[in-house]
Structures are given as structure tokens and as C-alpha cells.
Structure 1
Amino acid sequence: MQAVLVSFQNNALDELAASADRILEITKPSTTE
């Protein structure tokens, strides 16, 4: 049961990181140019 929770947590973290990356990609060009 704990393994299921851990893998679910990792999934959520991966999705959070992916969305953060996307947001950074969207906001970066306007600041670097």
C-alpha cells in the first residue's frame, strides 16, 4: 500500500514539474528578449 502512495506522489511531482517547466517556457522569452 505504501508503494502505491509513493508512486502516486512521484506522479504528482512529475506533473507539477512538467507544468512548472511549461510556465517557465511561456514566461522566459518575454524576459530574455
Structure 2
Amino acid sequence: KQHPGWLREMEHEGKLIAWGEEKKDEAHGHHA
């Protein structure tokens, strides 16, 4: 999977996971 430059930078800081999880949760509509 190819990620944009900003996503790659965030991934190095571990923020990509937090951001991705938050967006996925919103997109899927709360599947806790």
C-alpha cells in the first residue's frame, strides 16, 4: 500500500495508527 508523504511521516511518529483508527471507527459507524 502506498501512503502519501504526510501519512508516512505520521506513521513514523505512531500517529498514523491513532488517526487511522479514529477515521475507521467514524467511517464504519462505531464498531467498538
Alignment TM-score, normalising by the size of structure 1: 0.45
- Structure with greater proportional helix content: 1
> Larger relative contact order (C-alpha < 8 A, sep ≥ 6)?
2
Q: TM-score normalised to the size of structure 2?
A: 0.46
Bigger Cα Rg: 1
